Amino acid sequence: IVRGGLLYEATKKTAVKASAGVESYDFGNTSPLGEDLNTDIFSYDIAASWQATEKILVEAMARNGIQPAAQYVSNTKEITLASLGASYDITKSWILSLAGSWRYDDYIGKIEDPDTGALQSKHRRLYGGRLRLDYKPSAKFFDLYAETTYEDSNTNIQDDYGNYDQWRITLGLALRY
């Protein structure tokens, strides 16, 4: 990866971090069909934050990259994702946050469609949302949180990793020392 970037703090309340460059992925193997899975892309990563008020923080992010496709043997994918979220400090100890996200996966190697047997490019779009409540007590050695997330996945090939929508509820404890 060859990348350059910058951090720009327009005011005490507004900041933007950005980087861009060329990302080269050398898979070191071919797909089962003999396709070359090595690829080069223009990659970017941008994040912005705005402290709208003393209690409200708004954040946005977008990036792309290349990664192995864990669900398929010998395949890679280019990913593009973006998110927008906000948090509200209810009190010093309680923080409520809400975020939405979008992700697009473009698989480099072709995938066999189980319905037709045809080989085709696979694309997946994921949409998500998250609502989270954090409790950060004055005791500095732990935090508690409750979170619910939703994810909707839509793909052009209905194989074992086809369309789905999923809700998750998580309760957590973070310990520090």
Lookup result for tokens 């043997």: 73
Residue numbers in the chain where pLDDT is lower than 50? none
pTM score, whole prediction: 0.85
pLDDT at 28: 78
Alpha-carbon distance of 43 to 79, in angstroms, equals 10
Can you read off the two tokens belonging to residue 51? 């402290």
pLDDT at 53: 97
Residue 104 one-letter amino acid: Y
pLDDT at 67: 87
pLDDT at 148: 98
Residue 31 one-letter amino acid: S
Can you read off the two tokens belonging to residue 145? 């949180």
Residue 72's CB is within 10 A of a number of other CB atoms, namely 19
pLDDT at 32: 75
pLDDT at 24: 86
pLDDT at 99: 98
pLDDT at 57: 98
Eight-class DSSP state of 152: E
**Across the strands, what pairs with 155?**
124
CA atoms within 13 Å, Cβ hemisphere of 149? 13
pLDDT at 63: 97
Can you read off the two tokens belonging to residue 173? 């404890």
